[in-house]
Structure 1
Amino acid sequence: MEEVDKILIHALKQVGTEISEEVGSVKQFTSELIVEAVVRCIRVINPGLGSGLPTSLPPGMSARFRVGMSLAQACQDIGYKGEIGYQTFLYSNEPEIRSLLMFLVEKLPRESAETSDQPTGKSVVLQRSIAAAIKAQLSVPWLPPNCRLPLNCETQSPGELHCFHVQPLSLAHCTKGPGKKQLKEVRDYQRDILLPVTAQPSHHSFVAASILEQHTAELSAAQEWDNEWNSQGLLSRLTPQEYRSRKLGRLRKRIEEQLRSAALPSPESAFSGPCSSSELSELLQSFRGTAPSDHILTKGTHFTHTQKFSFTQVRSRTQTWAIRLSEDTKFLLCSPTVCVCVCFLQEAVPVTSPLPTGPQSETEIQLRQQEELTSLQHQFQQLCSDVDQLAADLKHTSVTNTQVLDELKQRELGNSEKDEKMQVKKKTVDLLPDADENLLKLQALVEASANRVVNLASQWEKHRAPLIDEHRRLKEICSNQDMESSRKLTEIKSLHDKIRVSSEEAKKKEEIYKQLVTELENLPQDASRSAYTQRILEIVGNIKKQKEEITKILSDTKELQKEINNLTGKLDRTFAVTDELVFKDAKKDESVRKSYKYLAALHENCNQLIQTIEDTGTILREIRDLEEQIEAEHNNKTVANLEKILDDYKAIRQENSALTAKVREG
């Protein structure tokens, strides 16, 4: 049993049970250690069933009985067919505990059984216990703090609840790979200046939410790129880099067109006021990636030309206003329809103004300039209103002109149709005097036209047949090419999926390989698989020897029984023959009669002796069975369990009396 107990202890350590090095057999297991080992095994076998079971016994006796009943029910749910109850855990019995642990170890998943063959380090055991605890907590439904029972409080954290607040994080992404280089400044920034992820949010409760949001965003972006590449990128027959650059160029072009259309003013706002487009021009220039230019927008507005001309340096303010107004009128009234207004505008604005002579103070000069500026502004506003009125009249005139032109075109079309009808009627009237002759000519002409049409149709059929055949051939070639391209595209998609699956499998295998290498490095060098295999082979050899000895004993027993049966039969036959011979002589001789009596007594005494020997063997077997039962009872710790039961009974009575006292006080 030592080897079996060592294997059980090793397997229990693999599932996370804390067993000290001093414990070498199941006989040394305490109730707390038994409960922990059983709960750990149940959590590995069925996490949902073992998530609500505690790994230690509570202090109260009633709670201990409930835990024992829960463990017994869980073992029965898993499939244990043996006799089990709360006494199995509270008042442990070595054979029952050994059989239960053997059943649980055999029920462990295959990967756990495989890993249990190899000794692992404490780090691997810690990682597995953490994974088991997280899995157990995830399997338990979340409850609000006000609805949690004491059992739920043990499995769910009673900490504070925080809002899901996200803050942007700056992560040090690794860019190592073929064709990728990382700048030295970036590496220095990430190494020396960039804060850790846990220190970047303003509050420590935002760390988990921010990391989850960052990871979700990156994952969704990668999935969107995969979907877009599989649906559109493969159809474009470009590399991923070319597809990205083309998409970026289209986006830049679209933004530039939108900004250009937004920068151009509408016709209704041409005379409303100034519209500064310098910021939009700079933004467009930044999109172009070239040096700024003064002629970004090819079409200039009236007011931009006015501003360019009006804000140039001239010799005097009066001449500046005169030149600006005259140039404005020339620019606006360049159409032939309103050229007559130029003279009016030029007469309304004085070109020169007499400059004051003589010494004047600075204040008078400023007042005079202010008055001139005010009057010129009024005149400019009046001119702008006149120009607006003239523009409206021009628009109305252009609309009227368009309507007149449309009506003229319609009348010309009607006149042309009437002319054609008149020509036909005129020719018909001219042909009326020679109607019969003209009819014959017309019929001959119709017949000639029909023959010519038939001839042309036959010629067209001759040309049409090879063209149709060529068209069908080319159409079939195109359809075959489309089918071939679709088939190749399907193959490319399937290969892409296979590549993705293979890459994921390679990553998983790489992680498993790294983990196995780490476990191999953490393994003790003195213990190896060959040692355990050798021990198992020794156990198997001992079992074979025991079976051979048992078979030999059984064969010896059979031989002895056969020999006893032969001797018993021989004795019975000999006694029967002797009895018959002596009985014949006993009728004639008195001495022979006495010998016959002695022979009968000897036979009876021999039978009693044989029966006594058989009874002695039966008694010896019963004694041996009783000794084994006594030893089993000693191993079951019956006396210790009875004492423990009495102590538990006293503790339960004390708890009941304490509860009764509390009820009475309440």
Structure 2
Amino acid sequence: MEEVDNIIIHTLKNIGCDIDEEIVSLKQFTDEIIVKAVICCLEAITPGTGLPKILPASMSLRLRTATSIAEMIKDLGYRGDMGYQTLLYSNEVDIRRMFMFLVERLPRDTDKAGGHVKVKGRFEILMNDIRAKITNDLKKKWKPELMITDNIPFRSRSLTVPETFSKNISEDKKEYWNRYLLPITEQCTEQELIPSLIVLNEIEESKVGQISREESLHALNKQTNNISEAIDIQDINTEITLNKALNNTMEDETVEKMKSLSVDDIKNTIQSVTDNVHRLKDEIQTLDEELKILKRKETQILEQKKIEDELLENNVKQLKIKSRSYKLLPSKDENVQKLEEMIQASTEKLTNLANQWNKHRTTLIEEYRNLREISTLKDSESYKIEEEFEQEKQKSKELEKEIAIKNVLHKQLQDEVAQLSKTVNRFAYTHRIMEIIGNIRKQCTEMDKILEDTKQLQKDINKLTGKLDRSYVLTDEMIYRDAKQEETSRKAYKLLVTLHSDCNDIIEVAKQTGSIVREIRDLQEQVDTEKSYDIGARIDRITADLEQVRKETTTLQQEKMNRKS
């Protein structure tokens, strides 16, 4: 365990724990050093614990800090026995197990000076930046985006836009607007765009209020025309009639009259036009319904015609058959004889064809069976090949995944090796590790040899017991046969039975003694481990601490009484 202790002490020094050079094993650790090293490890794993690195003088405060440290170690996932007694009344085995757990939980790269983690790698830097950004955003108060108007002043600029509402526009202006006028996005900056558009909209609305009454009437007439044109027309004839009606109602003469009329008269005319439009729409709907009814009747008539055509074809066929039969009636005997000869010839032809078919059928069935067997064999072989191919494909995918994982691990290890300090003499550690691995391999080989010897011994024992049982059964049968006739054979049989039972008892006693010896060995090992814990010294320390706690309680009680008096 010296190598393990040296590695633990070296890592504790690297994370900033102040340990003397004289201390070379965990046996030499005192309570203060243990607590200091554990707190350094916890600070390196989870910074900001706020625990004191030195134990207080008061025993009650010591117990409280030790219990809090033990709880933090349990929260990290330590599964062993952990409490204040592990830190204050330390045992070498428990301390070594605890420090091994904490060293495994340490970050990969640590700063020797202060124990703060150096985060390296793009992914880790990105994750830390995201984490810091989220924490800063959570600390701020939330505001809607529309309320955030910091550093955005309301500055507008005059925009030049073509005057679409005016009529009298010169050709020069149009040519300027078409060729040389810049878009509004290029006439100002992005911050000035929305304020400039708002100001321009206000100016446009003020100009629109000054449009003459004639232009408003003209716009109103255009709206009525747009309303009439937006009506959905389904049929071509109805569309023509609707266009005629709209053209009759909205001629140029009526528009000139509307200019001289008042607003109420214009509204009345628009209402009459809309009524006419609705009336025409209703007429269109009625015509559509009548058209649908006529289409249904047409389909029914076509179906009836189809049925009558089929009946007519059937009647024509029957008529042809009957006309042929009527032609055969005058010479019926000759026709019957001819039909019988034709039937006989057809039957003979059918029998010949059947015989020929049976001859060919047997050969074809045999060929079919052979081909079927060959196809089944090929299918089974192809299925096996497909299964093997799928398995190989799956194995190749798994190997590719493993190779990718190992490549990533190889890169990480290379980065870690490059980041490690060159001053540390790692050859000694690697040499020690290789020696430990060699010793472990030797022990494994020796254990394998012992297991092989025990297996061989068990086989020999089983063979001998089987041989002994068979020989006992054989001798028992032979002596039992002779025991019916001879007195000596009877005595020999009794002695054989007693000898067999005594041997079984001896074997059972040997087994019990072996189990007892194993139990004694286990108990001796437990006793040795308990002796290594040095329970007596720990009990003495506990009693001394208990006396100190009692003294502290008595002094506190006296101080309390003095304050009351």
TM-score, structure 1 as length reference:
0.39
